[in-house]
Amino acid sequence: MTPSQRFAAIVDKFRGKAGVTLPSDEPSKKRKFGSSGLRIKGKVFAMMSSNGEFVVKLSRERVDRMVASGEAARFDPRRNGHVMKEWAVIAPTSKTKWLEVAREAKNFIGK
């Protein structure tokens, strides 16, 4: 399964969940940050980057732990070394379950 297919399956799991906006529910916003993302309260919590990476927003401490364990990398959207400290990139080869971390991100943003 490709990363895009995996993300599509996650989007389907969030379909109909209270407060969650799906990428297809929004007007076309090509190339804007989070335009392909799942949102809660208008804020992106999980998305596919323009590079085809699965990216989630979590607490800085959680991202620090994931990076230290090799579970994730920090998100560098401009690819210029300026990472976003509350955003983690989960590699397609990671053993991290994308749906579980997406739910964790939704709960982090939706509190």
pLDDT tens for each residue of 58-104:
999 999 999 999 999 999 877 787 888 999 999 888 889 999 999 99
Inter-residue contact 85 to 60 (CB < 8 Å): yes
Q: What's the CATH code of the domain at 98?
A: 3.90.1150
Is pLDDT at 36 greater than 90 in this prediction?
no
82: burial class by Cβ within 10 Å (0-12, 13-18, 19+)?
Answer: exposed
Q: What is the mean pLDDT of residues 40-55?
A: 90
Mean pLDDT of 10-38: 78
What's the pTM value of the predicted model, to 2 decimals? 0.86
What mean pLDDT comes out for the span 32-42? 81
Q: Is the pLDDT of residue 30 over 80?
A: no
Q: Domains in the chain: how many in total?
A: 1
- The whole domain housing 93 covers 3-110
Q: Which residues pair with 38 in a beta bridge?
A: 46
